[in-house]
Structure 1
């Protein structure tokens, strides 16, 4: 029973993109590991950019510096 947790920043990932991530991840586990898709779980978590850090800064700060 595979469980895959995908974390992305909350910057406009559409419902269709999420659907594709779930389907594609499930298909990869079916093809590579011969897993049953009905017992394969994919969780997508959207994380606020204030709560995602790279180095010493949040992604929010990094995005503002790039602007």
Structure 2
């Protein structure tokens, strides 16, 4: 039983985009590992950018500085 935990930043990802991710990941597991879709679980965790660090700073700060 594959279990995939996908963590993304909360950036206004739509329900349709999330559904496409779930379909795509499921299809990949079926094609590459021959897993059954009905046994495949995908969980999407959306993380606030203030709770995600990258390159030694919070993602919100990194993105703000990246625009400079």
Q: Cα RMSD (Å) of the superposition?
A: 0.8
**Alpha-carbon shift at residue 35 of structure 1 (Å):** 0.3
- The runs of at least 4 consecutive aligned structure 1 residues that moved more than 2 Å come to none
Cα deviations by residue, 1:1-57 (Å, 9 ceiling, x for unpaired): 000111110001100000000000000000100001001000111000011101220
In 1, Cα distance between equivalents of 2:64 and 2:29: 37
How many residues matched?
Answer: 67
Q: Which residue of 1 aligns with 2:66?
A: 66
Structure 2: gaps of 5 or more residues: none
If the length of structure 1 is used for normalisation, what is the TM-score? Answer: 0.94
Q: In the TM superposition, what are the counterparts of 1:13-32 in structure 2 within 5 Å? A: 13-32=13-32
If the length of structure 2 is used for normalisation, what is the TM-score? Answer: 0.93
